[in-house]
């Protein structure tokens, strides 16, 4: 009898321990009582009634990623391509997620495929290849609205890969190659143009500098020549001034010595003879040159006698 009681006690302890549940972080437990929804357990320690309560579903509340295989879609200009998508979603209501839809992931995949076909069907090939952000935004808005009754929030939708047909890809590669060659030719032409302009500007500046240097050189030569002429003129003027001064001094000394008019005229003639020796560029002839000449002849005859 004692062994039976011990066994029953151990059984009761095991049942009680099994009814103690700990909900980890970022998870939620959906609990049913007699097959009906009872409660949603969040993080922490919980106790369920044995036999009556049952944990129906363990729900992960973290953001999850669903990578779906490529889906065939047709663009507005009748080009068939393969597009695979990646959906980032998060469960916000464990109760709706548990009871809202059967196989939520399959439902999201099918909904993503149909939404993608609807969005791509309104775009042409070029728009599809260049409007990823627009397509992502439209798909996210549509999926978020459709999955809201399921307790799912779609945070982001990304087009992982767009695969046009082989012929389209070859044509696009040829087009891109031609575009790159065209840009290369344009850049090369612009570089040659800039190089030509820089060379021409360099020659122009060089010619301007040479002209300025020649001008400065000519100015310096002219100033040097002018300075030389001024100094020569000043020298000639000073020499003439000294000759005239000496003549004046001689005349003054003769006058002071009491010389008569004949001697003074003779000295003037000698001064005139020196002035006319061929070095002077100008010659001033006195008005009484005849009287001076006759006086000189008379003096000469007197001396000869």
Range among 33-37, 161-165, 229-233, 275-279 rated most confident = 33-37
**What contacts 16, CB < 8 A, 6 or more positions away?**
50
The answer to whether residue 99 sits within a structural domain is: yes
Q: Are both 71 and 148 inside the same structural domain?
A: yes
Report the relative pairing of strands 71-74 and 44-47 from DSSP bridges.
Answer: unpaired
Task: From 35, 60, 85, give the residue that closes a domain.
Answer: 60
Mean pLDDT across 6-13: 79
Locus of tokens 């030509």:
196
Confidence of residue 61 (pLDDT cuts 50, 70, 90): very high
Among 65, 107, 63, 60, smallest CA distance to 85 is for 65
Q: Are both 103 and 151 inside the same structural domain?
A: yes
Q: Are both 86 and 159 inside the same structural domain?
A: yes
The whole domain housing 271 covers 260-305
Which of 5-14, 39-48, 91-100, 225-234 shows the lowest per-residue confidence on average (mean pLDDT)?
5-14
Q: Are both 266 and 305 inside the same structural domain?
A: yes
Q: Are both 22 and 82 inside the same structural domain?
A: no
Q: Are both 91 and 119 inside the same structural domain?
A: yes
Q: CA dist 82 to 30, 40, 70, 132, 171, Å?
A: 39, 41, 6, 14, 17
Task: From 131, 164, 197, give the residue that closes a domain.
Answer: 164
The answer to whether residue 173 sits within a structural domain is: no
The answer to whether residue 108 sits within a structural domain is: yes
The answer to whether residue 91 sits within a structural domain is: yes
What value, to the nearest 5°, has the Cα angle with vertex 201 and ends 196 and 203?
95
pLDDT tens across 167-177, in order? Answer: 777 877 788 88
The answer to whether residue 248 sits within a structural domain is: no
Q: Are both 76 and 142 inside the same structural domain?
A: yes
Q: How far apart are CA 56 and CA 95, in angstroms?
A: 10
Q: Please state the domain count of the chain.
A: 3
Q: Are both 24 and 71 inside the same structural domain?
A: no
pLDDT tens across 198-238, in order? Answer: 888 888 888 898 888 888 888 888 888 888 888 888 888 88
Locus of tokens 């065939």:
72
Q: Are both 77 and 120 inside the same structural domain?
A: yes
Locus of tokens 């728009």:
127
Task: From 164, 189, 212, give the residue that closes a domain.
Answer: 164
Q: Are both 17 and 78 inside the same structural domain?
A: no
């Amino acid at each position: 009898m004692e062994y039976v009681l011990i066994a029953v006690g151990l059984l009761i302890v095991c049942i009680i321990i099994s009814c103690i549940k700990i909900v980890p972080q970022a998870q939620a437990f959906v609990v049913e009582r007699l097959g009906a929804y009872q409660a949603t357990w969040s993080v922490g320690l919980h106790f369920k009634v044995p036999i009556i309560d049952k944990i129906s579903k363990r729900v992960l509340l973290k953001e999850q990623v669903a990578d779906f295989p490529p889906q065939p879609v047709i663009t507005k200009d009748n080009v068939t391509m393969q597009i695979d998508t990646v959906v980032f979603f998060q469960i916000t209501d464990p109760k709706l997620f548990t009871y809202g839809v059967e196989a939520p992931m399959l439902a999201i995949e099918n909904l993503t495929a149909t939404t993608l076909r609807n969005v791509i069907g309104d775009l042409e090939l070029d728009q599809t290849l260049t409007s990823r952000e627009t397509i992502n935004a439209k798909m996210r808005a549509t999926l978020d609205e459709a999955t809201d009754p399921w307790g799912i929030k779609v945070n982001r939708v990304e087009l992982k890969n767009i695969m046009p047909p082989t012929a389209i890809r070859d044509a696009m590669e040829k087009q891109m190659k031609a575009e790159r060659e065209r840009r290369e030719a344009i850049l090369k032409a612009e570089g040659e143009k800039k190089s030509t302009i820089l060379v021409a500007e360099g020659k122009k500046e060089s010619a301007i500098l040479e002209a300025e240097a020649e001008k400065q050189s000519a100015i310096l030569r002219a100033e040097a020549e002018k300075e030389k002429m001024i100094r020569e003129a000043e020298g000639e003027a000073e020499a003439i001034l000294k000759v005239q001064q000496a003549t004046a001094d001689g005349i003054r000394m003769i006058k002071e010595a009491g010389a008569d008019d004949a001697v003074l005229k003779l000295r003037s003639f000698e001064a005139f003879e020196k002035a006319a020796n061929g070095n002077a560029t100008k010659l001033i002839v006195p008005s009484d040159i005849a009287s001076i000449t006759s006086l000189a002849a008379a003096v000469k005859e007197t001396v000869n006698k």
